[in-house]
């Protein structure tokens, strides 16, 4: 699963959060080299360890209102929602291992 499902409106995002138990939003722009490098690693992590989390991207240039609503001003930023609530937020400098460790407990509580 790639983070190619781009969200462009707040209404669309609100529907996604209602319909899914776990959602990962990946905030990026096309001009960020770090964001481009991190995205496939996050894809691999979610696919292999947390397959029930649905992933979506938000291009901060195309949907600045969504980024502003969640106080996202740097890229890349990951926000994970469990049961519609913002649970995890990682920005700019974070490791994939750190993200994995942070996801384990809430994921297990909801899905196992």
The pLDDT value recorded for residue 25 is 96
Could you give the percent of the chain with pLDDT greater than 90? 80
Does residue 65 fall inside a structural domain?
yes
Is residue 58 included in any domain, yes or no?
A: yes
pLDDT range class, residue 5, cuts 50, 70, 90: confident
- The total of structural domains in the chain comes to 1
Range of the domain at 69: 10-111
CB burial of 53-87 (b: ≥16 within 10 Å; e: otherwise) equals bbbbbbbbeebeebbeebebeebbbbbbbbeeeeb
- 83, 20 contact by CB (below 8 A): no
The CA distance from 82 to 1, in Å, is 19
Q: How confident is the model at residue 2 (pLDDT cuts 50, 70, 90)?
A: low
| Per-residue confidence (pLDDT) for residue 1, from 0 to 100 | 42
Read off the CATH number of the domain in which 38 is found.
3.40.30.10
Q: Considering the domain boundaries, does residue 4 fall inside one?
A: no
Percent of the chain exceeding pLDDT 70 equals: 96
Classify residue 5: in a domain, yes or no: no
Position 2 in a domain:
no
Each residue's pLDDT tens digit, 19-71: 999 999 999 988 777 778 888 999 999 999 999 999 999 999 999 999 999 99
Helix, strand and coil in the chain, % to nearest 5: 45, 25, 30
Report if residue 1 sits inside a domain.
Answer: no
Pairing of strands 54-59, 77-82: unpaired
* Residue range 68-106, pLDDT digits in tens: 999 999 999 999 999 999 999 999 889 999 999 999 999
Q: Quick check: is 71 in a domain?
A: yes
Residue 42 lies in a domain: yes
């Amino acid at each position: 699963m790639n983070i190619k499902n781009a969200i462009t409106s707040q209404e669309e995002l609100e529907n996604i959060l209602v319909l899914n138990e776990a959602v990962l939003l990946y905030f990026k722009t096309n001009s960020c080299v770090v964001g481009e490098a991190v995205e496939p690693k996050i894809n691999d992590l979610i696919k292999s360890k947390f397959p029930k989390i649905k992933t979506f991207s938000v291009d901060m240039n195309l949907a600045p209102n969504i980024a502003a609503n969640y106080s996202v001003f740097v890229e890349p930023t990951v926000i994970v929602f469990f049961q519609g609530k913002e649970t995890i937020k990682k920005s700019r400098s974070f490791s994939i291992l750190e993200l994995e460790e942070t996801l384990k407990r809430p994921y297990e509580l909801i899905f196992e």
